[in-house]
Amino acid sequence: MIISERIPARDARSSKTGSPTTTLSPDADRLRRWVEELSRPRHALAEAHENKRTRRRLCEALEDCGLGVSVVGSFSNVLALPANPEKRPVTLIAAHYDTVPGSPGADDNGSGLAVLLECARLLSSRRDGAPVGFVCFNAEEDGLLGSQDFVSNTLPVLDHSVRAVHVLEMVGYRPRSGAKQSAPLPWLPRSLRTPDFIALLGRGNSNRIVDDVRNSDAAPNTRVVTARTHGPMDKLLPDLRRSDHFPFWLEGTPAVLWTDTGDFRNPNYHRRSDTPDTLDYAFMQGVGALLVDAVAR
Protein backbone atom coordinates (compact mmCIF):
# COMPACT_ATOMS: atom_id res chain seq x y z
CA MET A 1 0.00 0.00 0.00
CA ILE A 2 1.28 3.43 -0.99
CA ILE A 3 0.20 6.35 1.19
CA SER A 4 0.61 9.91 -0.07
CA GLU A 5 -0.40 13.35 1.17
CA ARG A 6 -1.27 16.66 -0.41
CA ILE A 7 -0.28 19.50 1.90
CA PRO A 8 -2.84 22.36 1.92
CA ALA A 9 -1.69 25.59 0.30
CA ARG A 10 -2.43 27.34 3.58
CA ASP A 11 -4.18 26.56 6.83
CA ALA A 12 -7.90 26.51 6.09
CA ARG A 13 -8.65 27.74 9.60
CA SER A 14 -6.66 30.92 9.02
CA SER A 15 -8.50 31.68 5.78
CA LYS A 16 -11.16 34.38 5.91
CA THR A 17 -13.77 32.15 4.28
CA GLY A 18 -12.29 28.67 4.02
CA SER A 19 -14.03 28.50 0.65
CA PRO A 20 -12.68 26.22 -2.09
CA THR A 21 -11.65 27.81 -5.36
CA THR A 22 -13.56 25.54 -7.74
CA THR A 23 -16.19 27.18 -9.94
CA LEU A 24 -18.68 24.52 -8.86
CA SER A 25 -18.63 24.93 -5.11
CA PRO A 26 -20.94 23.27 -2.60
CA ASP A 27 -22.60 25.63 -0.15
CA ALA A 28 -21.64 25.16 3.52
CA ASP A 29 -25.00 26.42 4.79
CA ARG A 30 -26.90 24.00 2.56
CA LEU A 31 -24.67 21.16 3.78
CA ARG A 32 -25.48 22.07 7.38
CA ARG A 33 -29.22 22.20 6.68
CA TRP A 34 -29.16 18.79 5.04
CA VAL A 35 -27.27 17.24 7.95
CA GLU A 36 -29.68 18.82 10.44
CA GLU A 37 -32.70 17.50 8.54
CA LEU A 38 -31.36 13.98 8.11
CA SER A 39 -29.83 13.44 11.56
CA ARG A 40 -32.33 11.09 13.17
CA PRO A 41 -31.87 7.44 14.13
CA ARG A 42 -32.80 5.56 10.93
CA HIS A 43 -31.71 1.94 11.15
CA ALA A 44 -33.25 -0.19 8.40
CA LEU A 45 -35.16 -2.37 10.89
CA ALA A 46 -35.02 -0.84 14.37
CA GLU A 47 -36.17 2.57 13.08
CA ALA A 48 -37.94 1.46 9.91
CA HIS A 49 -40.39 4.39 9.89
CA GLU A 50 -37.59 6.97 10.02
CA ASN A 51 -35.57 4.95 7.51
CA LYS A 52 -38.51 5.13 5.12
CA ARG A 53 -38.97 8.87 5.75
CA THR A 54 -35.30 9.47 4.93
CA ARG A 55 -35.58 7.41 1.75
CA ARG A 56 -38.62 9.41 0.66
CA ARG A 57 -36.86 12.72 1.34
CA LEU A 58 -33.80 11.63 -0.66
CA CYS A 59 -36.02 10.67 -3.59
CA GLU A 60 -37.71 14.09 -3.51
CA ALA A 61 -34.42 15.97 -3.38
CA LEU A 62 -32.90 14.02 -6.26
CA GLU A 63 -36.06 14.39 -8.35
CA ASP A 64 -35.83 18.15 -7.76
CA CYS A 65 -32.44 17.99 -9.50
CA GLY A 66 -34.12 16.68 -12.64
CA LEU A 67 -32.88 13.13 -12.22
CA GLY A 68 -34.80 9.94 -12.89
CA VAL A 69 -35.22 8.34 -9.46
CA SER A 70 -36.19 4.79 -8.54
CA VAL A 71 -36.07 2.58 -5.44
CA VAL A 72 -34.29 -0.63 -6.38
CA GLY A 73 -33.43 -3.99 -4.90
CA SER A 74 -34.40 -5.96 -1.83
CA PHE A 75 -33.00 -3.31 0.53
CA SER A 76 -34.61 -0.20 -1.01
CA ASN A 77 -31.57 1.51 -2.45
CA VAL A 78 -32.27 4.90 -4.03
CA LEU A 79 -30.91 5.22 -7.58
CA ALA A 80 -30.93 8.54 -9.46
CA LEU A 81 -29.72 8.75 -13.05
CA PRO A 82 -29.65 11.49 -15.69
CA ALA A 83 -32.92 11.65 -17.61
CA ASN A 84 -31.08 11.29 -20.95
CA PRO A 85 -27.78 9.50 -20.30
CA GLU A 86 -27.41 8.62 -24.01
CA LYS A 87 -26.11 5.20 -22.96
CA ARG A 88 -22.69 6.65 -22.16
CA PRO A 89 -20.75 5.26 -19.18
CA VAL A 90 -21.93 6.92 -15.99
CA THR A 91 -19.98 7.90 -12.88
CA LEU A 92 -21.82 7.17 -9.62
CA ILE A 93 -21.60 9.10 -6.36
CA ALA A 94 -22.82 6.98 -3.46
CA ALA A 95 -23.51 7.14 0.28
CA HIS A 96 -25.48 5.01 2.72
CA TYR A 97 -28.56 6.44 4.41
CA ASP A 98 -29.12 4.10 7.35
CA THR A 99 -27.59 4.39 10.84
CA VAL A 100 -26.89 2.05 13.70
CA PRO A 101 -29.86 1.87 16.12
CA GLY A 102 -30.19 4.90 18.37
CA SER A 103 -27.62 7.13 16.65
CA PRO A 104 -28.65 10.32 14.80
CA GLY A 105 -25.79 9.59 12.40
CA ALA A 106 -24.74 13.16 11.57
CA ASP A 107 -21.28 12.10 10.44
CA ASP A 108 -22.23 8.47 9.83
CA ASN A 109 -23.60 9.10 7.32
CA GLY A 110 -25.56 12.33 7.18
CA SER A 111 -22.37 14.06 6.08
CA GLY A 112 -21.99 11.76 3.09
CA LEU A 113 -25.63 12.24 2.10
CA ALA A 114 -25.35 16.03 2.39
CA VAL A 115 -22.31 16.14 0.11
CA LEU A 116 -24.02 13.75 -2.33
CA LEU A 117 -27.10 15.99 -2.51
CA GLU A 118 -25.04 19.13 -3.03
CA CYS A 119 -23.08 17.38 -5.79
CA ALA A 120 -26.40 16.37 -7.38
CA ARG A 121 -27.57 19.99 -7.30
CA LEU A 122 -24.36 21.24 -8.90
CA LEU A 123 -23.71 18.49 -11.41
CA SER A 124 -27.17 17.58 -12.68
CA SER A 125 -27.48 20.88 -14.55
CA ARG A 126 -24.27 20.34 -16.54
CA ARG A 127 -24.59 19.79 -20.26
CA ASP A 128 -21.00 18.67 -20.87
CA GLY A 129 -18.80 15.89 -19.62
CA ALA A 130 -19.65 12.33 -18.64
CA PRO A 131 -23.07 11.75 -17.05
CA VAL A 132 -23.19 11.46 -13.26
CA GLY A 133 -25.65 9.37 -11.25
CA PHE A 134 -26.28 8.94 -7.56
CA VAL A 135 -27.08 5.99 -5.33
CA CYS A 136 -28.04 5.93 -1.65
CA PHE A 137 -27.55 2.51 -0.10
CA ASN A 138 -29.59 1.07 2.74
CA ALA A 139 -28.50 -1.50 5.33
CA GLU A 140 -24.80 -0.62 5.17
CA GLU A 141 -24.65 -0.96 8.93
CA ASP A 142 -25.90 -4.54 8.65
CA GLY A 143 -22.97 -5.85 6.64
CA LEU A 144 -23.11 -3.81 3.41
CA LEU A 145 -26.35 -5.56 2.46
CA GLY A 146 -27.66 -2.75 0.26
CA SER A 147 -24.51 -2.28 -1.81
CA GLN A 148 -23.99 -6.03 -2.13
CA ASP A 149 -27.52 -6.36 -3.49
CA PHE A 150 -26.94 -3.41 -5.84
CA VAL A 151 -23.74 -4.90 -7.28
CA SER A 152 -25.27 -8.37 -7.64
CA ASN A 153 -28.72 -7.50 -8.95
CA THR A 154 -28.99 -3.88 -10.12
CA LEU A 155 -25.60 -3.15 -11.67
CA PRO A 156 -25.84 -6.00 -14.23
CA VAL A 157 -29.16 -4.74 -15.63
CA LEU A 158 -28.42 -1.01 -15.88
CA ASP A 159 -28.89 0.38 -19.39
CA HIS A 160 -25.34 1.74 -19.42
CA SER A 161 -22.02 0.81 -17.90
CA VAL A 162 -20.54 2.38 -14.76
CA ARG A 163 -17.26 4.18 -15.29
CA ALA A 164 -16.38 4.59 -11.59
CA VAL A 165 -17.99 4.89 -8.16
CA HIS A 166 -17.18 7.45 -5.47
CA VAL A 167 -18.39 6.24 -2.06
CA LEU A 168 -18.84 8.85 0.69
CA GLU A 169 -18.48 7.36 4.18
CA MET A 170 -18.28 9.94 6.98
CA VAL A 171 -16.84 13.13 5.48
CA GLY A 172 -17.73 15.83 8.02
CA TYR A 173 -15.63 15.41 11.16
CA ARG A 174 -12.45 17.43 11.65
CA PRO A 175 -11.48 18.00 15.28
CA ARG A 176 -9.83 21.10 16.64
CA SER A 177 -6.25 21.73 15.64
CA GLY A 178 -3.73 19.57 17.46
CA ALA A 179 -6.09 16.69 18.28
CA LYS A 180 -4.78 13.16 17.89
CA GLN A 181 -6.50 10.03 16.64
CA SER A 182 -8.68 8.46 19.33
CA ALA A 183 -7.59 5.09 17.90
CA PRO A 184 -4.74 5.69 15.41
CA LEU A 185 -5.03 4.03 12.03
CA PRO A 186 -2.45 1.25 12.14
CA TRP A 187 -1.51 1.66 8.47
CA LEU A 188 -0.82 5.41 8.66
CA PRO A 189 2.68 6.72 9.32
CA ARG A 190 3.09 8.76 12.49
CA SER A 191 3.34 12.02 10.51
CA LEU A 192 -0.29 11.58 9.43
CA ARG A 193 -1.80 10.85 12.83
CA THR A 194 -3.19 14.39 13.21
CA PRO A 195 -6.79 13.75 12.08
CA ASP A 196 -7.50 16.84 9.98
CA PHE A 197 -7.66 15.27 6.51
CA ILE A 198 -9.98 13.55 4.08
CA ALA A 199 -8.71 10.09 3.17
CA LEU A 200 -9.21 8.49 -0.25
CA LEU A 201 -8.77 4.75 -0.65
CA GLY A 202 -8.37 3.05 -4.01
CA ARG A 203 -7.42 -0.36 -5.30
CA GLY A 204 -6.07 -1.45 -8.64
CA ASN A 205 -8.04 0.23 -11.40
CA SER A 206 -9.25 3.03 -9.11
CA ASN A 207 -5.79 4.15 -7.94
CA ARG A 208 -5.53 6.62 -10.83
CA ILE A 209 -8.61 8.40 -9.51
CA VAL A 210 -7.14 8.97 -6.06
CA ASP A 211 -3.98 10.35 -7.69
CA ASP A 212 -6.07 12.79 -9.72
CA VAL A 213 -7.88 14.04 -6.61
CA ARG A 214 -4.63 14.44 -4.69
CA ASN A 215 -3.27 16.57 -7.52
CA SER A 216 -6.41 18.70 -7.82
CA ASP A 217 -6.33 22.37 -6.87
CA ALA A 218 -10.12 22.61 -6.46
CA ALA A 219 -9.92 22.97 -2.66
CA PRO A 220 -6.37 24.07 -1.79
CA ASN A 221 -7.13 24.41 1.94
CA THR A 222 -8.22 20.80 2.33
CA ARG A 223 -5.63 18.26 3.45
CA VAL A 224 -5.86 15.07 1.39
CA VAL A 225 -4.33 11.70 2.23
CA THR A 226 -4.54 8.93 -0.36
CA ALA A 227 -3.94 5.21 0.00
CA ARG A 228 -3.28 3.18 -3.17
CA THR A 229 -3.63 -0.57 -2.74
CA HIS A 230 -3.22 -3.59 -4.97
CA GLY A 231 -4.27 -7.21 -4.90
CA PRO A 232 -5.38 -8.83 -1.63
CA MET A 233 -4.23 -6.02 0.68
CA ASP A 234 -7.71 -5.94 2.24
CA LYS A 235 -7.18 -9.50 3.52
CA LEU A 236 -4.24 -8.24 5.55
CA LEU A 237 -6.08 -5.07 6.67
CA PRO A 238 -9.81 -5.90 7.00
CA ASP A 239 -10.57 -2.25 7.86
CA LEU A 240 -10.13 -1.52 4.15
CA ARG A 241 -13.38 -3.44 3.49
CA ARG A 242 -15.67 -1.57 5.86
CA SER A 243 -17.88 0.40 3.49
CA ASP A 244 -19.90 0.23 0.30
CA HIS A 245 -16.90 0.52 -2.00
CA PHE A 246 -15.91 -3.07 -1.22
CA PRO A 247 -18.61 -4.93 -3.23
CA PHE A 248 -17.57 -2.88 -6.27
CA TRP A 249 -13.95 -3.84 -5.71
CA LEU A 250 -14.94 -7.50 -5.67
CA GLU A 251 -16.95 -7.07 -8.87
CA GLY A 252 -14.15 -5.20 -10.65
CA THR A 253 -15.74 -1.75 -10.99
CA PRO A 254 -13.35 1.10 -10.10
CA ALA A 255 -14.43 2.48 -6.72
CA VAL A 256 -12.92 5.04 -4.36
CA LEU A 257 -13.76 5.43 -0.68
CA TRP A 258 -13.88 9.00 0.68
CA THR A 259 -13.75 9.08 4.48
CA ASP A 260 -12.77 11.25 7.42
CA THR A 261 -11.77 7.95 9.12
CA GLY A 262 -14.36 8.76 11.79
CA ASP A 263 -14.50 5.18 13.03
CA PHE A 264 -10.95 5.75 14.31
CA ARG A 265 -10.96 9.40 15.30
CA ASN A 266 -14.52 10.60 15.96
CA PRO A 267 -15.44 10.03 19.63
CA ASN A 268 -19.12 10.20 18.62
CA TYR A 269 -18.90 7.29 16.19
CA HIS A 270 -22.00 5.05 16.47
CA ARG A 271 -23.22 6.99 19.52
CA ARG A 272 -26.16 9.25 20.34
CA SER A 273 -23.69 12.12 20.40
CA ASP A 274 -23.12 11.93 16.61
CA THR A 275 -25.01 15.19 16.12
CA PRO A 276 -24.83 18.06 13.57
CA ASP A 277 -23.08 20.47 15.95
CA THR A 278 -19.99 18.21 16.07
CA LEU A 279 -19.18 18.57 12.36
CA ASP A 280 -17.00 21.00 10.40
CA TYR A 281 -18.97 22.34 7.44
CA ALA A 282 -16.06 24.24 5.87
CA PHE A 283 -14.23 20.91 5.79
CA MET A 284 -17.26 19.25 4.17
CA GLN A 285 -17.39 22.06 1.63
CA GLY A 286 -13.79 21.37 0.64
CA VAL A 287 -14.50 17.64 0.30
CA GLY A 288 -17.48 18.39 -1.91
CA ALA A 289 -15.45 20.75 -4.08
CA LEU A 290 -12.80 18.08 -4.65
CA LEU A 291 -15.46 15.53 -5.56
CA VAL A 292 -17.28 17.87 -7.95
CA ASP A 293 -13.98 18.65 -9.64
CA ALA A 294 -13.08 14.96 -9.90
CA VAL A 295 -16.30 13.92 -11.62
CA ALA A 296 -16.74 17.10 -13.69
CA ARG A 297 -13.40 16.50 -15.38
Extents of the domains making up the chain: 2-296
pLDDT tens for 20-50 read: 544 678 999 999 999 999 999 999 999 999 9
For residues 180-196, average pLDDT:
66
**Is the separation of the CB atoms in 288 and 119 below 8 Å?**
yes
Measure the CA–CA gap between 216 and 293, rounded to whole angstroms. 8
**Preceding omega of 109 cis (within 30 degrees of 0):** yes
Residue 185 pLDDT level (bands cut at 50, 70, 90): low
Residue 83 pLDDT level (bands cut at 50, 70, 90): confident
Question: Is the model's pLDDT at 95 over the cut of 90?
Answer: yes
Question: What percent of the chain lies above the pLDDT cut of 70?
Answer: 89
Report the pLDDT value the prediction gives residue 1, as an integer from 0 to 100. 83
DSSP letter for 190, please.
Answer: G
Question: Is the model's pLDDT at 9 over the cut of 50?
Answer: yes
Query: What stretches of the chain adopt beta strand conformation (E)?
Result: 2-6, 67-72, 77-82, 90-96, 132-137, 162-168, 198-203, 224-229, 255-259
Measure the CA–CA gap between 184 and 23, rounded to whole angstroms. 35
pLDDT tens for 201-223 read: 999 999 999 999 999 999 999 99
CA torsion through residues 54, 248, 295, 278, sign: positive
Say what angle helices 207-214 and 281-296 make with each other, to 10 degrees: 120
143 or 186, greater pLDDT: 143
Instruction: Give the least confident one: 99-108, 156-165, 173-182.
Output: 173-182
Average pLDDT, the chain: 90
Question: Is the model's pLDDT at 285 over the cut of 80?
Answer: yes
User: To which H or E segment does residue 206 belong?
Assistant: none
Question: What percent of the chain lies above the pLDDT cut of 90?
Answer: 73
**CB-CB neighbours of 52 under 10 Å:** 14
Report the pLDDT value the prediction gives residue 11, as an integer from 0 to 100. 46
- The dihedral over CA atoms of 38, 292, 265, 13, expressed in degrees to the nearest 10, equals -100
CATH number of 2-296: 3.40.630.10
pTM: 0.92
Instruction: Give the least confident one: 24-28, 153-157, 281-285.
Output: 24-28
